[in-house]
Each structure stands twice: as structure tokens, then as C-alpha cells.
Structure 1
Amino acid sequence: MNKSIKYLIAIMLLLAANLWLFFSGSGNNTPAAETYFASEDLEEVSRFLFVLDGDTTKIERADQEWILNDQFKADEGFVNTLISILERVEVGRTINDWDKEILGSAEVEFDFNSRYRFQLATNPNRTKTYFISDDIAKEVAVPGYRDNVADIFTLHPDQWRDRLVVDGSWRSIQRVEVSNKTGEDFNIVFDDSFFLVNGETPTDSSGVINYINQFQQFQANEMISSGRFPELDSLASTEPMAILLIDDIKYEDPKTLNIYPGLKNQPYHLAVDENGNRMVIDARRVQQILSNPDRAN
């Protein structure tokens, strides 16, 4: 899980970079440097394909969504970050006859038609990125972007997955049930005009509303595929410490999460949804989910 923590930090840095790229402007009259994709319109990208360290990441446009490896919905924010970075990649020095280590390969498809392929490489301390085509390497960078450009290509396929677990609020959620082997069981049910907690009128109505609203755009920290972390595979075969059920009018069936005990010295809990999708969720958020918002009742 230490690797997972590093990935999470990398994701936060990438999101921060995306915000910076979005809001920053030119602000001066300095002549524009050569951009790597100067002749292409990256808004017309229809597919990305990365192959690194034995992992293949394919992100393909499908109607108004991006689909990851023909199976999962991709995180639109991360895809937009990638596009923003590639739009601003500037070319530095050129190295002919590149004969050093290759990190991996990338392919960018435009409008489901033309494709541009290149290889990726870095220097030994991974502070510089090179795009290589026909054995000619070009050092590339994004002005003001402190992270190495290659970092976004090295994300695990899991990290491109959409992390949305449930999106509900007090206006749409009808029922929440918590079965907790390590604490209190409770249920919150909408009844006519407001919610009842364990069948009774709550003493802290605002606390109940705040509790329900935490499931608005509720996202996991990261999605986890089977086999990626053996210790989590073992944990998933045990009994969960708690089960969360959320019944929202927007969903045909209730959403459920099996939540497992945290591993030693890890601030995350494994959770598995009703479709078998695995994820990790911050321990503090899990504690909030499993806490009765109307304990005085």
C-alpha cells in the first residue's frame, strides 16, 4: 500500500497542475515556443494508448464519456488534465540516434482516424522527459509544471478509473443503513417530510442532513483491481467489518459497500461495492460514515 499512497500523492499533484494550467494565462509578449503537438487539435483526440511496465492503458472516447480498457468509465478530470498537459508540452533540445533506455510507448489518435505514435524516456533521476520518434528524441516540458511530464503516463490503469461511488443528497436519498460489527448499527429512513433515525425523530436534524450530504459526489480515494495488492486480495476474502446501504431514487437498485478493517499502519479501508468493484477509502471518511449522526437519540 505504500505504492498506493505515492500514487495518491501523484494524483493530487496532477489535479493541482490541471487547475494551474486552466487558470494561468500568457500574461506577456514572449514569442511562443514550439509545442510538440503544434499541428494537431487535441480537442479532437479520440483515443490514448499507453504501454509501460507491462500495463496497457487505453482511454477511448465513447459519445460524451471516456472508457478505460473497454470496461470502465474513465475519470474525466484526469483525462482533461492529460489533454491540458499535452496541449502545452514544449520542445527543448533534440538528441539524434537515441540509444538509451525506453520507458514505454504512447499513441494518440485524432478523430478516430490519424494516429501519432512516440516512445517515452527519462533521464536517470527522472527529472526530464523525452518523446522519441524515429530514433530522434526531443526533450519536452510544460512551462511552470514542476512535475516530470512522463509521470502522467506512468499512472496505473486503475488510477484512470472514475472514482465516483454514489451521488446523492438529502433530496434524493431515501434510506441509509449501517451494519457495523465494530460499533453501532443504525438506519436513516425518509418518512413523509423528513428522516427518522432508528424509527424516531432525530434530535439533531442538521447533523442528519450533513451526514446524508456527505454522499454527494462521493468518491473513493482510488479504485483497486484484483491482483494489484495481494494483501488487499486476502483481506477481501474475509468478513467485512461493516456494510453500508444507500437507497437513492436516482438508482434502480440500492448501492452497497462492504467495508473491511484497515491494515496495520495504513490510513485506508478496503471497500467492495455491489458489483464487486474494489476501492480504498480514507479511514477518517469511513469513521464518519459509520458514526450515527444522532447519537443523542
Structure 2
Amino acid sequence: MSKSTKYIVAIALLLGANLWLFFSNSDDTQTSEKYFDSEDLEGTSAFKFMYGGDTVQISLTGEGWLVNDQFLADQGFVNTLISVLERVEVGNTIENWDREAIGSVEVEFNFNSRYRFQFATDPNKTRSYFVTEAGAKEVAVPGYRDNVVDIFTLHPDQWRDRTIIDGSWRTIQNVKVENEAGSGFRISFVDKFFLVNGEQPTDSSAVVNYLNQFQQFQANEMISLGRFEEMDSIASAEPFATVFIDDIKYDHPIQLEIFPNKLNQSYHLVKDQDGQQMVIDARRINQILTNPENQ
């Protein structure tokens, strides 16, 4: 498995299970010293993380949280970030800190005051430290299995909203699948229900199930141009399939261009109508490209 493949697959674990895992184990009765004042964090208006040459700016706007003033952030991940910081507890204090920090954090409160600190970890990456001019404090979140500072090292893409479309059989009007293999099909709402290639479907529940897969449909991860050379190479080729989805909630149809994956590659590169790149699990792509009459 290539380095980029491993990196992409790891995202689901890091951003899914690990960011949420600690909630079921948190103990609100503990009296340990918290690093942040929870009331201050309730007024958080921006975050800035600097790590490995990347800068992530997450800012609260009238449209919600934005990543680097460009993309809508995953609002759930941002809320999780705030919850993690609310639960950070202080352990040992190291006054004469002489190790190298790996990155820095800036937290803005109420669009006004800012608090800055650097972060570090031990060689085994099992402990986290927040570093200021006063020294370093070892920090942890009860019930959170991973290194606390890992949340600050995510790529800007990993903070982006991954929702591609949120539609169902009640809102989708048309789906058109074009495929190089000639197995394309069209689902159209006519009168009171859907036709498949202009004909009454033999199994109406299969059509409903097919359309409902687009409810809160998310990419595995958004991929910016230049991030992975392998992805850029795939994007320069011709897509082997295109999917058009017309939903009444959207001003324009959603268009997804799907590119061939490589041998043993468990995902496909996909581009939307705005040229945004993403990766989507190969099994989900196969479901999208399969006529419900054949499922």
C-alpha cells in the first residue's frame, strides 16, 4: 500500500472514531485542573494551527466555520475540537523546557483576545505538551486514547466539510449515470414515481434504496491539488464514469466525475462540478454505478 493510500485510510480512524471515542468515557466529576476555562472556549471565534509547513485557520463567520477563509469546515469536527480542549487536563509542569516544539496554536476568543502556545510530544509520541514562555505542561484528555496534540497536525483538507449531496427519493428528481462500459442508466421522477430508462421499475423499493444512498452523502476526504502527486496524475486522465444528480434543494445539478483506481486501491478519485477533488470508497462508487434493476 502506498504512503498516500495509508495516509488517506488513516483519516477515517483519526477523525471518526478517535475524535469521538472519549465522550463515552468522560467523567464530569473529576476535579483535575483544566488547561482552558470552559467559559472562554464557549466564546471561541478562531483557531490557527501551524505544523509541518501547513497553516490551518478555522474562523467563525456568518456562514459557519470556514477553513482558511475558503472552504466550509466540518462543523461537527470543530465542535469536537472545542470539546477536546474543554477537557484537556494539566499534568506535570516542566519549567526548564529544552525540547523542540513541533508546531504552534493560536486560539481567538470573542473576535478579540488571543492565546498562543506551542505544542510538542515525546519521542514515542505517547505524551503531549503545551509550551509557553513559562515552561511546558504535560496535558491529556481522560478517555482519549490518542496523543492530544495530533488534532493540531491535521492537514487543512481534513477539516473541510465532506458533504457532497444530501438528497433522497423524496427530493431527487433525476439521476443520470454515464459509463464507458456502456452500462449507463437514468432514473427520472415522472408523475407519481420514478422511471428507470423510461420504464416502470420491476422493484420500486430497489429504486428508493438506490436514491436514499445520497442522504448525507460524504466523501472519505477532500484532496487539494498538489497534495498527492499520485492523485494529481490520476486527475489528469479521463474519467471512466460521470454521475449527474438533480435535486430540488440545489440550484444546479451535482456532477461527479469518477476516475479509474489502481490495482488494489480501495477508493476512487472523484471531481465535482466545481473541480474539487475528493476520494470515495470503491464499494460506494460501485453501488452508485449499478442500475437498481440489477441489484
Under a length normalisation based on structure 2, what TM-score does the superposition of the two structures give?
Answer: 0.95
Aligned to 2:10: 9
Instruction: Note the alpha carbon deviations across 1:114-141, whole angstroms, 9 max, x for none.
Output: 1000001000111101000105010000
User: Offset of 1:247 from its aligned partner?
Assistant: 0.3
Aligned to 1:257: 256
SS in 2 for 1:257: strand
Aligned to 1:67: 66
User: Offset of 1:63 from its aligned partner?
Assistant: 2.1
Aligned to 2:289: 290
Distance 1:173 1:295, change over 3 A: same
Aligned to 1:26: 27
User: Offset of 1:231 from its aligned partner?
Assistant: 1.2
Aligned to 1:227: 226
Distance 1:223 1:39, change over 3 A: closer
Q: Name structure 1 gaps, 5 residues minimum.
A: none
User: Offset of 1:265 from its aligned partner?
Assistant: 2.2
Q: Distance in 2 between matches of 1:267 and 1:4?
A: 9
Provide the aligned C-alpha RMSD in A: 1.7
Instruction: Note the alpha carbon deviations across 1:138-185, whole angstroms, 9 max, x for none.
Output: 000001111000111111110000000001000110000000113511
Q: Distance in 1 between matches of 2:179 and 2:279?
A: 18
Distance 1:4 1:118, change over 3 A: farther
Distance 1:7 1:145, change over 3 A: farther
User: Offset of 1:10 from its aligned partner?
Assistant: 4.4
Q: Distance in 2 between matches of 1:262 and 1:46?
A: 40
Alignment of 1:195-214 (within 5 A): 195-214=194-213
Greater shift, 58-67 or 2-11, is seen at 2-11
Equivalent pairs counted in the alignment come to: 294
Distance 1:214 1:132, change over 3 A: same
Q: Distance in 2 between matches of 1:83 and 1:61?
A: 13
User: Offset of 1:2 from its aligned partner?
Assistant: 3.3
User: Offset of 1:19 from its aligned partner?
Assistant: 3.8
SS in 2 for 1:159: helix
Distance 1:39 1:268, change over 3 A: closer
Greater shift, 178-187 or 15-24, is seen at 15-24
Q: Distance in 1 between matches of 2:187 and 2:129?
A: 55
CA contact (8 A) 2:174 2:188 kept: yes
Amino acid at match of 1:213: N
User: Offset of 1:46 from its aligned partner?
Assistant: 0.2
Q: Distance in 1 between matches of 2:149 and 2:196?
A: 50
Amino acid at match of 1:172: T
Instruction: Note the alpha carbon deviations across 1:231-289, whole angstroms, 9 max, x for none.
Output: 11111111101000000011111000000001232201000000010000000000000
Amino acid at match of 2:156: P
SS in 2 for 1:232: helix
Distance 1:25 1:57, change over 3 A: closer
Aligned to 1:104: 103
CA contact (8 A) 1:259 1:270 kept: yes
Distance 1:85 1:183, change over 3 A: farther
CA contact (8 A) 1:245 1:254 kept: yes
Aligned to 1:36: 35
Amino acid at match of 1:56: T
Q: Name structure 2 gaps, 5 residues minimum.
A: none
Q: Distance in 1 between matches of 2:276 and 2:190?
A: 31
Q: Distance in 2 between matches of 1:64 and 1:232?
A: 30
SS in 1 for 2:279: strand
Under a length normalisation based on structure 1, what TM-score does the superposition of the two structures give?
Answer: 0.94
User: Offset of 1:64 from its aligned partner?
Assistant: 5.2
User: Offset of 1:96 from its aligned partner?
Assistant: 1.4
Percent sequence identity is 60
Aligned to 2:85: 86
Alignment of 1:75-154 (within 5 A): 75-134=74-133, 136-154=135-153
Q: Distance in 1 between matches of 2:219 and 2:94?
A: 42
Q: Distance in 1 between matches of 2:6 and 2:75?
A: 21
CA contact (8 A) 2:4 2:228 kept: no
